[in-house]
Amino acid sequence: MLTNRSIAFKLILVITLCSIGIFTTILGYNYYHSRLVLIKELESNARNLTLASVNRIETVLNGVAKVTESVARSLENGKQTHKERTALFRSTVAENSEIYGCGVGFERRAAGPNPHPYVSHFYRDHDKIICAIDNSSNYLYEDWYQICREMEKKEWTEPHYEKNALMTTCSVPFYDITDGVRRPRGVVFSDISLDWLTELVASLKVLKSGYAILISRNGTILTHPIRELIMNETIFSLAEARKDPTIRALGKKMIKGNEGFIPFTNINGIKTRVYYAPIPSIGWSLALVFPEVELLAEIKRLSLTGGIMALVGLMLLTMGVILIARSITAPLVDLAKATTAIAQGDFDVELPPARSQDEAGALTTAFGVMKSSLKEYIKKLTETTAAKERIESELNIAHDIQMALLPKIFPPFPDRPEFDLYALIEPAKEVGGDYYDFFFVDDNHLCFVIGDVSGKGVPAALFMAVSMTLIKATARHGLPPEEILFRVNNELAHENDSCMFVTTFIGMLDMESGELLYANGGHNPPLHLKRGGGVDWLPISGSLMVGAMEESPYRRERLRLEPGDSLFLYTDGVNEAMNARDETFSDFRLERSLLALQGSKIKDVVSGIMANIREFTGEAPQSDDITMMMIQYRGR
């Protein structure tokens, strides 16, 4: 998609995208890290504010509890008269502004001469302290009395309305201890108005619209921004009404006296953060609630500011890149037009001047040098091409001459039924170094030879022709194979400045007896295919290649061929043929292929081996000639 775009466009696009990625990463990390820091800081502030409020509430409640306990101990330790008790309760209410009312409820027969239970209650009425006496026994069954008496310890009641004010009562039991026996005498109680507590909790603000809520030990809502919920709902009834398990889970944690900081969705569906902590002395729980949107507002503002700054910086960067890109690409455009003309063969076109010493200027200068060099090169190439065409013509002629030197008519001696022979050569290049030959030295002895000259091309072909000529001329004298190789070796090795050599296998087959005399000059060992089945490798003689060193000895070997036996000869281009995976055809595959083709006509065997090699190598080019020859002895 970008291949047809200009360098300037690609440069601008890449730098812009990279810059966007860098800015986005920085802003994203800054937003994420700032959010974590702000939430942690807010949690700390919320905890401090919550615990400070809890401590303020605890101070008041503990003070009321201590006053109530002090009054209870006074009644327990002394035998006050009615007048003294009245003075005690009046002074308690008068001297403790946080106490709305204070009183005592007696057990039956525990109030002196009066056998009936009664309760005396002293409470504020504007600037007066009123005393109310209740002679009924109903109070014996009220929570402030009954729970405290049964639990035998200080208790706080659930909040309740009294005289149109929300109150809670602290109750402390007191006893008559006679002869070490403790008997309940009654319960001292103190009422406190929760108006101050409501105002305290309502005054707690976090961020702009954060608020605080207070619930009792049973989950009753005591303070809430929605006033209709106060004393009319519990946190669990809200959870049930809204089918919201998260509200129920929060309520359970709060009434258990836990402390924590959690994300929470309030009853209006707004995502918030809640910090809650218990009020231990009374068993209530206080929670601070603040919306996340306000928490993240400052972060978003900072991120927006950073984003705008990044956008402005990106625009300035893009403008700078455009200017630099144009200064680079403008001379390149002119240079491209000139090089197009050069590519079309116009070597006299004027190149744009090098206006600077940067890479573009250096490229323009280099193109000028290239134009001159290319012009000279084309001139020389024209001359070289003409010379190459002449050489190729000569190579083609040499190839034809080389192929003409090799026997190509099969069967070569149709009037000789004692044997059959077939050969095949496939040069790796136009002119190769492999060869084969066969001829009768007399009426009863067939001489055959196969060789592989070191190197390729015309030198190898010339060396091959000389080798063939020398072998054929020497063999006509009726010499044994080892002597033929010895003499040919001395001729080729003498003044061999090119250091070329030829691996040669030569055999002399007796048509009457089937006896084969042979000598091997460093060539691949042939394979003996027996008429009854099986393939044997001829032993390696260990002699040197022909032409490598003067006076090198060669050893004669014997083999008797039975009628139907065959001899397979080849050059190293067969077993070293290579495929695209750099695997060779190998001696193992050659032997396996011969076993599979055994029993076929020798032409079919050679052609089958060639087909197997081509299948193995595929399209992989071969670096060596492939030559094969096969002789089958039939006998007379």
Contacts of 44 (CB under 8 A, 6+ apart): none
72, 89 contact by CB (below 8 A)? no
Per-residue confidence at 139, pLDDT binned at 50, 70, 90? confident
| 196-295, CATH topology level | Beta-Lactamase (3.30.450)
Q: Enumerate helices (H) and strands (E) in the chain, giving the number of each.
A: 14, 22
Amino acid at 34: S
For 413, phi and psi rounded to 5 degrees? -130, 80
pLDDT over 90 percentage in the chain: 31
According to DSSP, the β-strands at 419-426 and 445-453 are unpaired
Q: How far apart, in whole angstroms, are the C-alpha atoms of residue 203 and residue 517?
A: 123
pLDDT in tens, 268-279: 778 888 889 999
Query: Which range (30-34, 470-474, 630-634) has the least confidence?
Result: 30-34
Q: Is 580 in a helix, a strand, or coil?
A: coil
610, 629 contact by CB (below 8 A)? no
- Looking at residue 342, its pLDDT comes to 72
Whether 308 shows a pLDDT value over 70: the answer reads yes
- Looking at residue 109, its pLDDT comes to 63
Match domain 417-633 to its CATH number in 3.30.230.10, 3.60.40.10, 3.50.50.60, 2.40.10.120: 3.60.40.10
Higher-pLDDT residue of 236, 36: 236
Average pLDDT over the chain, rounded to an integer = 85
Average pLDDT over residues 578-598: 94
Whether 624 shows a pLDDT value over 90: the answer reads no
Q: Is 264 in a helix, a strand, or coil?
A: strand
Q: Using alpha carbons only, what angle is made at residue 595 by residues 590 and 598, rounded to the nearest 5 degrees?
A: 120
Query: Full-prediction pTM beyond 0.85?
Result: no
Say which residue the tokens 């959010």 belong to: 35
Per-residue confidence at 49, pLDDT binned at 50, 70, 90? confident
Per-residue confidence at 347, pLDDT binned at 50, 70, 90? low
Greatest alpha-carbon pair distance for the chain in Å reads 167
Spans of all domains in the chain = 8-191, 196-295, 298-375, 417-633
Tell me how crowded residue 493 is: count the other CB atoms within 10 A of its CB: 20
Note the CATH number of domain 8-191: 3.30.450.20
- Looking at residue 116, its pLDDT comes to 53
Contacts of 196 (CB under 8 A, 6+ apart): 60, 98
Helical spans, DSSP H, in 78-134: 82-95
Query: Which range (15-24, 32-41, 266-275) has the least confidence?
Result: 32-41
- Looking at residue 581, its pLDDT comes to 93
Whether 124 shows a pLDDT value over 90: the answer reads no
Q: How far apart, in whole angstroms, are the C-alpha atoms of residue 50 and residue 52?
A: 5
Whether 333 shows a pLDDT value over 90: the answer reads no
Amino acid at 121: H
Q: How far apart, in whole angstroms, are the C-alpha atoms of residue 511 and residue 444?
A: 5
Whether 627 shows a pLDDT value over 90: the answer reads yes
What are the DSSP E strand ranges found in 258-335?
Answer: 260-265, 271-279, 284-291
Whether 589 shows a pLDDT value over 60: the answer reads yes
CATH class of 298-375: mainly alpha
pLDDT in tens, 430-447: 567 889 999 999 999 999
pLDDT over 70 percentage in the chain: 94
176, 185 contact by CB (below 8 A)? yes
- Looking at residue 97, its pLDDT comes to 85
Q: Provide the token pair at 74.
A: 């006074």
Give DSSP secondary structure letters for 389-429.
HHHHHHHHHHHHHHHHHS---SSS-TT-TTEEEEEEEE-SS
Q: How far apart, in whole angstroms, are the C-alpha atoms of residue 184 and residue 150?
A: 10
Q: How far apart, in whole angstroms, are the C-alpha atoms of residue 398 and residue 190?
A: 131
- Looking at residue 419, its pLDDT comes to 96
Whether 291 shows a pLDDT value over 80: the answer reads yes
Higher-pLDDT residue of 335, 281: 281
Per-residue confidence at 633, pLDDT binned at 50, 70, 90? very high
Equal CATH topology for 8-191 and 196-295:
yes
Tell me how crowded residue 388 is: count the other CB atoms within 10 A of its CB: 12
pLDDT in tens, 373-421: 777 778 788 888 887 778 777 767 766 777 778 898 999 999 999 999 9
pLDDT in tens, 444-463: 999 999 999 987 777 888 88
pLDDT in tens, 228-273: 888 888 989 888 888 888 888 988 999 898 999 888 887 777 888 8
Average pLDDT over residues 292-298: 75
Whether 577 shows a pLDDT value over 70: the answer reads yes
Q: How far is CA 323 from the centre of its chain?
A: 38
